[in-house]
Structure 1
Amino acid sequence: MVAAVESTDDLEALSLDDARSEAQRLTERILAARDAYYGADAEVVDDATYDGWMHRLEALERLHPEVQGQDSPTLTVGAASGTLFAPVEHAERMLSLDNVFSDDEFLAWTARVERDAGRAPHYLCELKIDGLALSLRYERGRLVTAATRGDGRVGEDVTENVLRIAGIPHVLEGSGHPDLVEVRGEVFFTVADFASLNAFQQEHGDRLFANPRNAASGSLRQKSEGKNERQLRAMDERLSRLRLTVHGIGAWVDPPVETQSEVYGLLHAWGLPTSPYFRVVDSGAGADDFIRHYGEHRHDVEHEIDGIVVKVDELALHDELGATSRAPRWAIAYKYPPEQVNTKLLDIVVSVGRTGRATPFAVMEPTRVAGSVVRQATLHNQDVVKAKGVLIGDTVVLRKAGDVIPEVLGPVVELRDGTERAFVMPQHCPECGFPLAPAKEGDIDLRCPNARSCPAQVRGRVEHIGSRGGLDIEGLGEVSAAALTQPVRPDVPPLVTEAALFELTAEDLFGIDVVVRDAETGLARLLEDGTPDTRSPFRRQRRKTDRAFDPEGPFDGDESAILSKSAEELLANLELAKTKELWRFLVSFNIRHVGPVAARALAQWFGSVEAIRAADRDELAAVEGVGGIIADSLLDWFEVDWHREIVERWQAAGAQLATPGHPGPGAAVAAGGVLDGLTVVATGSLDGYTREGAKDAIIRAGGKAASSVSKKTDFVAAGPGAGSKLDKAEELGVRILDAAQFHVLVTEGPAALGDN
Structure 2
Amino acid sequence: MDEALRIQQLRKQLETYAREYYIQDAPTVTDQEYDRLMHELEDLEAGHPELADPNSPTQRVIGAILPGFEKYTHARRMLSLGDIFSREELEEFVARVRKEFPGASFVAECKYDGLAMALHYEDGRFVRAVTRGDGLTGEVVTANVRTIRSVPMYIDAPGHVEVRGEVYMPKVSFERLNEVQTTLHLPLFANPRNAAAGSIRNLETSVAASRNLEIFLYWYQNALEHGINTQARALEAMHAMGFPVNMDFAVCDTVDELWAFIEKTREKRSSLPYEIDGVVIKVNSLEQEEALGLNAKTPRYAIAYKYPAQEVQTRLDDIFLTIGRTGVATPNAVLTPVRVAGTLVSAASLHNEDLIRDRDLRIGDTVIIRKAGDIIPEVIASVKERRDGTQVPYVFPGTCPVCGSELIRLPEEADHFCTNPDCPAQVLGSLIHFVSREAMNIDGLGEKKVRQLHEAHLLDTIQDIYHLAEKREEILALHGWSDKGFDKLLANIDGSRQRSLADLLFGLGIRLVGRKAAGLLADAFGSMDAIMAATKEELAAVKYIGGTTAESLTTWFAQPANQGLIQSLKEAGLNMVQAPKEVPSVSSPFAGKTVVLTGTLSGMSRNEAKALLESLGATVAGSVSKKTDLVIYGDKAGSKLAKAQELGVATMPEAEFLQEAGHVA
TM-score (norm 1): 0.63
Counterpart selection for 1:502 from 452, 466, 471: 466
SS of 2:393's equivalent?
coil
Question: Which residue of structure 2 lines up, in the alignment, with residue 391 of structure 1?
Answer: 362
Question: Which residue of structure 1 lines up, in the alignment, with residue 160 of structure 2?
Answer: 180
Question: Which residue of structure 1 lines up, in the alignment, with residue 320 of structure 2?
Answer: 349
Deviation at 1:222, TM superposition (A): 4.4
Worse-matched range after superposition: 627-636 or 463-472? 627-636
Question: Which residue of structure 1 lines up, in the alignment, with residue 431 of structure 2?
Answer: 462
Deviation at 1:189, TM superposition (A): 4.2
> CA contact under 8 A between 2:335 and 2:347: conserved in structure 1?
yes
Question: Which residue of structure 1 lines up, in the alignment, with residue 492 of structure 2?
Answer: 573
Counterpart selection for 1:637 from 551, 556, 561: 556
Which structure 2 residues correspond to residues 240-389 of structure 1 after superposition, within 5 A?
A: 241-251=212-222, 254-324=225-295, 327-389=298-360
Which structure 2 residues correspond to residues 628-667 of structure 1 after superposition, within 5 A?
A: 633-658=552-577
Deviation at 1:585, TM superposition (A): 1.7
Which structure 2 residues correspond to residues 216-231 of structure 1 after superposition, within 5 A?
A: 216-224=196-204
Deviation at 1:363, TM superposition (A): 1.0
> CA contact under 8 A between 1:134 and 1:187: conserved in structure 2?
yes
> CA contact under 8 A between 1:434 and 1:449: conserved in structure 2?
yes
Distance 2:185 2:612 in 1: 44
Q: Residue type of the partner of 1:479?
A: K
Deviation at 1:135, TM superposition (A): 0.7
Deviation at 1:431, TM superposition (A): 2.1
- Inter-CA distance 198–481: structure 2 relative to 1 (3 Å threshold): closer
Q: Residue type of the partner of 1:502?
A: Y
1:98 aligns with 2:82: yes
- Inter-CA distance 292–611: structure 2 relative to 1 (3 Å threshold): same
Which structure 2 residues correspond to residues 490-639 of structure 1 after superposition, within 5 A?
A: 490=456, 494-495=459-460, 497-505=461-469, 507=471, 539=479, 541=481, 563=483, 565=485, 568-604=487-523, 606-616=525-535, 633-639=552-558
Distance 2:246 2:255 in 1: 21
Q: Please report the RMSD computed on the Cα atoms of aligned residues, expressed in angstroms.
A: 4.2
SS of 1:151's equivalent?
coil
> CA contact under 8 A between 2:84 and 2:305: conserved in structure 1?
yes
1:126 aligns with 2:109: yes
> CA contact under 8 A between 2:217 and 2:245: conserved in structure 1?
yes
Distance 1:247 1:468 in 2: 36
TM-score (norm 2): 0.71
SS of 1:245's equivalent?
strand
> CA contact under 8 A between 1:125 and 1:308: conserved in structure 2?
yes
Distance 1:425 1:493 in 2: 35
1:446 aligns with 2:444: no
Distance 2:145 2:289 in 1: 29
Distance 2:175 2:584 in 1: 60
Distance 2:145 2:151 in 1: 8
SS of 2:117's equivalent?
strand
> CA contact under 8 A between 1:353 and 1:457: conserved in structure 2?
yes
Distance 2:89 2:539 in 1: 48
- Inter-CA distance 656–202: structure 2 relative to 1 (3 Å threshold): closer
What percent of counterpart residues are identical?
Answer: 38
Q: Deviations over 1:20-53 (max 9, x none)?
A: xxxxxxxxxxxxxxxxxxxxxxxxxxxxxxxxxx
Counterpart selection for 1:154 from 134, 137, 142: 137
Deviation at 1:633, TM superposition (A): 5.0
Question: Which residue of structure 1 lines up, in the alignment, with residue 72 of structure 2?
Answer: 88
> CA contact under 8 A between 1:506 and 1:563: conserved in structure 2?
no
Q: Residue type of the partner of 1:383?
A: D
Q: Residue type of the partner of 1:498?
A: I
Distance 1:206 1:691 in 2: 26
> CA contact under 8 A between 1:358 and 1:448: conserved in structure 2?
yes
- Inter-CA distance 151–446: structure 2 relative to 1 (3 Å threshold): same
> CA contact under 8 A between 2:80 and 2:655: conserved in structure 1?
no
SS of 1:135's equivalent?
strand
Which structure 2 residues correspond to residues 164-203 of structure 1 after superposition, within 5 A?
A: 164-173=147-156, 175=157, 177=158, 179-191=159-171
Which structure 2 residues correspond to residues 63-78 of structure 1 after superposition, within 5 A?
A: none
> CA contact under 8 A between 1:499 and 1:645: conserved in structure 2?
no
Distance 1:383 1:181 in 2: 57
State how many pairs are aligned.
551
Deviation at 1:253, TM superposition (A): 6.3
Deviation at 1:628, TM superposition (A): 6.6
Distance 1:588 1:204 in 2: 29
Question: Which residue of structure 2 lines up, in the alignment, with residue 143 of structure 1?
Answer: 126
Distance 2:197 2:268 in 1: 26
Question: Which residue of structure 2 lines up, in the alignment, with residue 20 of structure 1?
Answer: none
Deviation at 1:728, TM superposition (A): 2.5
Distance 2:103 2:224 in 1: 26
Unaligned runs of 5+ in 2: 1-65, 592-606, 621-653
> CA contact under 8 A between 1:143 and 1:171: conserved in structure 2?
yes
Distance 2:328 2:182 in 1: 37
> CA contact under 8 A between 1:510 and 1:540: conserved in structure 2?
no
SS of 2:408's equivalent?
coil
Deviation at 1:593, TM superposition (A): 4.9
Distance 2:179 2:508 in 1: 45
Distance 1:203 1:361 in 2: 23
Deviation at 1:188, TM superposition (A): 3.0
Q: Deviations over 1:710-749 (max 9, x none)?
A: xxxxxxxxxxxx9866742675xx5x6xxxxxxxxxxxxx
> CA contact under 8 A between 1:539 and 1:564: conserved in structure 2?
no
SS of 2:164's equivalent?
strand
Unaligned runs of 5+ in 1: 1-81, 226-231, 513-535, 542-561, 663-667, 670-674, 684-689, 709-721, 737-756
SS of 2:409's equivalent?
coil
Q: Deviations over 1:691-716 (max 9, x none)?
A: 799999x99xxxx85579xxxxxxxx
